[in-house]
A = this chain, B = another copy of it.
């Protein structure tokens, strides 16, 4: 490993890239993990319970602390309300801090109430819209209690059939509801608006694409930004280009990372097309070189609900993939890239990216971890810790109290 790292240093020297600069960036890069990724969840077909899966927020935090322990880049945990609702937020905040964690983005739930059959923030009935707005506002309050500065808004709203609702009216109602929410935002908090092209059974989703989300954010104000979930696009979409556009509009609020083969979006980030993930980071780092990354306000989050995988391992693996893509994007020789681009050297420019991508950065990431006193390989570290076996024996109630349970 050490020798591989030295090789890498030499390679970077050759392209005038300071490896210590790269390491500094990697150290500063952090990824928020989702509380719901630690509990049991499933498809509409079945929930395969994982032995020892977290049953409540404290257990989720304990698991997240393990991820942070072995990776060193996951100090924050995103919450989902009401799945993670607790009576005493200061207490849970203190517990998190004790584990070395902070509470991250608050995710309202606007889909698991019978009132939402025809939508939530877009519902034709003002009363239902009010209920939804109230719920988001209560999340804003929770965020204040937990020290979170992000509300991640995802809607499962839409229509199942043509004609079911007036698409322009839904748009107006959505804007109205968001304006009511935005008005209550403290200045330090951001509203991240997530879009999704499809949803099971839907004919239209109310936030199908980045254009829709961006227009809303612009109408709301500077604290509203767009959240890119990598799994929420039509097949064949150039996500890196969407990222570039949002960076350019200074409205890229953050990411929900995950991957998918076709229709869903809960597979481990970067597990099916790691090069695409690299291209996304390449846009961000390219923009950073020009101080154009929305003031560093991009929040990197994972949004995955693992079905058959061990929950904690899947999260660690996801984090490693994201780190890998990020690290490789840092290795891109931007001077060479720029030169090739401006001279119309199509393949030469591509090869600059490809050279960075082909580089094995495992020794680099191991070095970063070892400098922090961590084991070089997070998965091995976790597997040998005995934690998984311990919680499997301790957490024996098989009650499921939250998550994607279809109930």
- Does A300 interact with chain B (Cβ within 8 Å)? no
Pick the residue among B124, B245, B307 that contacts A344 (CB under 8 A).
B124
Q: Mark A105-122, 1 if CB is under 8 A from B, else 0.
A: 000000111101110000
In Å, the complex CA distance between A124 and B360 comes to 32
**In the complex, are the beta carbons of A167 and B45 less than 8 A apart?**
no
In Å, the complex CA distance between A342 and B124 comes to 6
Known: A209-B209, A262-B263. A114 touches B48 (CB 8 A): yes
**In the complex, are the beta carbons of A171 and B337 less than 8 A apart?**
no
**In the complex, are the beta carbons of A171 and B244 less than 8 A apart?**
yes
Least Cβ distance of A393 to chain B in Å?
18
- Does A386 interact with chain B (Cβ within 8 Å)? no
Least Cβ distance of A302 to chain B in Å?
15
Least Cβ distance of A197 to chain B in Å?
7
Pick the residue among B204, B272, B313 that contacts A241 (CB under 8 A).
B204
Report chain B residues within 8 Å CB of A359.
360
Nearest-CB residue, chain B, relative to A236: B262
Least Cβ distance of A50 to chain B in Å?
9
- Does A3 interact with chain B (Cβ within 8 Å)? yes
Least Cβ distance of A265 to chain B in Å?
9
Pick the residue among B43, B47, B347 that contacts A201 (CB under 8 A).
B43
**In the complex, are the beta carbons of B279 and A238 less than 8 A apart?**
no
Q: Mark A387-407, 1 if CB is under 8 A from B, else 0.
A: 000000000000010001111
Known: A267-B201, A275-B274. A160 touches B309 (CB 8 A): yes
Least Cβ distance of A349 to chain B in Å?
5
In Å, the complex CA distance between A208 and B4 comes to 41
**In the complex, are the beta carbons of B310 and A347 less than 8 A apart?**
yes
Report chain B residues within 8 Å CB of A350.
161-164, 271, 317
- Does A7 interact with chain B (Cβ within 8 Å)? yes
Report chain B residues within 8 Å CB of A38.
none
In Å, the complex CA distance between A282 and B406 comes to 34
Interface residues of A, count at CB 8 A: 113
**In the complex, are the beta carbons of A118 and B308 less than 8 A apart?**
yes
Least Cβ distance of A281 to chain B in Å?
12
Q: Which residues of A23-38 are within 8 A (CB) of B? A: none
- Does A276 interact with chain B (Cβ within 8 Å)? yes
- Does A326 interact with chain B (Cβ within 8 Å)? no
**In the complex, are the beta carbons of B346 and A162 less than 8 A apart?**
no
Q: Which residues of A107-160 are within 8 A (CB) of B? A: 111-114, 116-118, 124-125, 156, 160
Least Cβ distance of A199 to chain B in Å?
8
**In the complex, are the beta carbons of A282 and B162 less than 8 A apart?**
yes
In Å, the complex CA distance between A277 and B99 comes to 42
Least Cβ distance of A392 to chain B in Å?
15
Known: A248-B171, A271-B350. A344 touches B236 (CB 8 A): no
Least Cβ distance of A171 to chain B in Å?
6
- Does A20 interact with chain B (Cβ within 8 Å)? no
- Does A322 interact with chain B (Cβ within 8 Å)? no
Least Cβ distance of A299 to chain B in Å?
20
Report chain B residues within 8 Å CB of A353.
162-163
In Å, the complex CA distance between A352 and B41 comes to 26
Least Cβ distance of A202 to chain B in Å?
6
**In the complex, are the beta carbons of B234 and A44 less than 8 A apart?**
no
Pick the residue among B201, B267, B337 that contacts A266 (CB under 8 A).
B201
**In the complex, are the beta carbons of B235 and A406 less than 8 A apart?**
no
Contacts A4-B7, A163-B352, A167-B245 aside, 15 further interface pairs with beta carbons under 8 A come to A161-B347, A162-B282, A168-B245, A168-B286, A198-B261, A201-B266, A203-B272, A204-B261, A208-B238, A211-B212, A211-B215, A236-B261, A272-B276, A308-B346, A400-B407
